[in-house]
Amino acid sequence: MRAYSNKKNAQAKPYFTDRFYTVPQIPKEDVSSDEIFAADLELLSSKFEISDSFIQRGQLVMIIKPSDIVAFMKVLKDELEYTFLSEMSASDFLEKDGEFEIFYQMLSLKKRKRLRVKYRITQGDAVDTITDVFKSADWAEREMYDMFGIVANNHPYMKRLIMPDDWSGHPLLKSYPLIGDEAGQWYEIDTIFGKEYREVVGPEIRDTKRVDPKDTKNFARVGHEVGYGEKPSNKPTDFGEFQEEGGVPLITRFTKDNQKTLSRRK
């Protein structure tokens, strides 16, 4: 029977987790503990529906409705002086909740404060572009589309940014394996020579942990070591010939005077 593989999450998993291990949480502080954030939140919550807000590691986090984002950003920029979009992207929670989480990391130079705006959408939903408010979102949204397949509505140039235009799949999805899916692994061969060339060229070794047992130039099979480039052998290695009296635990014939010591690194 073929081994079970989780199609929704093909990423590395911890091989062992203690049964009694409880995961600690980063504490969420109340927004009223910070004057500036409390004032910001008061103004924002009078205009928009904010389902949750808290301070985590000194940064205000607000969770809003997806449809509010453009107006929300406008208020942040024009009224609250959060004039700098540091970062925006998504994270994949499809396996657990069936949703993407989109986050916008904002900075106010005047207040010296950073806050994060978040909302969740389901797969297949599009987000509204904020390029009208922040030009810098142009590439960030394109990268998000490229990596997650989340389209931004009304974006001036919604095209892949980093991967080639004819790439299939979105690499940062949890369902996308690290070594690439089939189309990804054969991308160069398929586009340049055609699919029928796959057999001629042969698969590329993409698993970095793979060891070819026949390759004696790069790897040594423990216990069966042979000389560089020689044919692999199943005979256990006899270390005795390199050691004193067939492998004694203590070196007896060592004299310091016979040894060559380098005075400086070569």
Partner 1 sequence: MQQTPNRLSPFYENLVFERDDNMMIVNFGPQHPSAHGQLRLILELDGEQVVKAVPDVGYLHRGMEKMAENMIYNEYLPTTDRMDYIAAASNNYGFALAVERLLDIEKEIPRRAEIIRVMLLELNRIISHLFWLATHALDVGAMSVFLFCFREREFAMDLMEDYCGARLTHSAIRIGGVPLDLPSDFIDNLYAFITKFPNDIKDYEGLLTENRIWKMRLEEVGNLTPEDALNWGCSGVTLRGSGVAWDIRKEEPYSIYDELDFEVPVADKNDSYGRYKLYMEEMRQSVKILHQTIPLYKESEPGLMAKVPQYVSATKEEIMTDNFALMQHFVLVTQGMRPPVGEVYAATESPKGELGFYINSQGEPYPHRLKVRAPSFWHTSLLQHMLPGHYLADVVTIIGNLNIVFGEIDR
Residues of this chain that interact with partner 1 (CB under 8 A) are: 11-16, 21, 23-26, 56-57, 59, 61, 83-87, 89, 91-92, 103, 105, 107, 109, 112, 114, 116, 134-136, 138-139, 147, 161-164, 171-172, 174, 176, 178, 191-194
Q: Residue 175 CB, nearest distance to partner 1 (Å)?
A: 12
- Separation of alpha carbons 13 and 157, rounded Å: 37
Q: Residue 77 CB, nearest distance to partner 1 (Å)?
A: 9
Torsion sign (Cα): 172, 175, 176, 179: positive
Q: One-letter amino acid identity for 122?
A: T
180: left (phi over 0), alpha (psi -120 to 50) or beta: left
Phi, psi of 59 (to 5 degrees): -120, 135
Nearer to partner 1, 174 or 224 (CB): 174
Distances 175 to 105, 144, 145, 227 between C-alpha atoms, Å: 26, 16, 16, 43
Nearer to partner 1, 32 or 86 (CB): 86
Nearer to partner 1, 48 or 54 (CB): 54
In 38-98, where do the E strands start and end? 50-56, 59-64, 84-93
Nearer to partner 1, 68 or 146 (CB): 146
Token pair of 138 as six digits: 């142009």
Q: Residue 148 CB, nearest distance to partner 1 (Å)?
A: 10
Q: Residue 180 CB, nearest distance to partner 1 (Å)?
A: 9
Nearer to partner 1, 141 or 216 (CB): 141
Q: Residue 219 CB, nearest distance to partner 1 (Å)?
A: 21
